[in-house]
Chain A
Amino acid sequence: MIEIGRVCLKIAGRDGGKKAVVVDILDNNYVVIAGETRKRKCNVNHLEFLNKTVKIKKGASDAELEKALKSEGIILRKTKPKKAGPRPLRQHKARPMVKPETVARKKKTKEAKPETGPETIAKPETKTEPGADTKTLNQKEKAKTGKPAAKAAKKAVNS
């Protein structure tokens, strides 16, 4: 039942329910499959072998597989080849090390602070002054007019 070109159904894992073809046989338990799943090594227990076969040679290329699988209505899932060159991690590390941006930002903040500083300080002063004046005025008014007048009126009533 297990042979190269045998159509099978993957039962277990995240590829469950997807059809594939046996491309290579590794040993009694493991097989390499390709098809709707990624091209991968797979345990035989995780596969359901179907009654269909496809004519494929061992280690067939993607183009050959695609042609053969069309007859079964299986679309081959292709994996992108790995890019040659330096690893992307190193590129990420290099980004935050860019100096001119950070220096420029710091300068801006330093310059901006003294400009805005006196204004912000000045505002509360102006605000507090009228407030203080009004308070003092009110107190004075009360001291002069309000309270003594009321007291006098009460005294008059009592007497």
Chain B
Amino acid sequence: MVAPRFRSRTFRRIKVKTPGNRNTIHYRLRKPAKAQCGKCGRPLQGVARARPIQLRRFSRSQKRPERPFGGVLCSSCTRDELRARAK
């Protein structure tokens, strides 16, 4: 019988083929939600999606785009913002 905490869907299930040619299910914590633009709400591209512990392994440039407002606003919203600030 599976452990009680694994019976709910808080964990995601991963099918693993063991060396003994047996199919087993492994349980891992789910990934956090996709990062969204702070202005328009569109999902951001180039933002790493992993647990904080795994994010620690990434370098700073691997986590978010290397431009102003990178990881906060989407590319089109940053353009609008920069234009507005220049005026």
- A-side residues, CB < 8 A to B, are 9, 11-14, 16-17, 19, 48, 50
Q: Mark B68-81, 1 if CB is under 8 A from A, else 0.
A: 10000001001100
Contact A14:B79 (CB < 8 A) given known A9-B86, A48-B86, A50-B86: no
Within the assembled complex, what's the spacing in Å between the Cα atoms of A16 and B78? 9
* Pairs across A and B, CB under 8 Å, 19 listed: A9-B82, A9-B86, A11-B79, A12-B67, A12-B75, A12-B79, A13-B67, A14-B66, A14-B67, A16-B78, A16-B82, A17-B68, A17-B82, A17-B85, A17-B86, A48-B79, A48-B82, A48-B83, A48-B86
> Distance in Å from the Cβ of A47 to the closest Cβ of chain B?
11
CB distance from A69 to the nearest CB of B (A): 16
B78, B85, B86 — most chain A CB neighbours (10 Å): B86
The reply to whether B68 and A9 contact each other, CB–CB distance below 8 Å, is no
B82 partner residues in chain A, CB cutoff 8 A: 9, 11, 16-17, 48
Contacts of A16 in B (CB 8 A): 67-68, 78, 82
Shortest C-beta distance, B39 to chain A (Å), equals 15
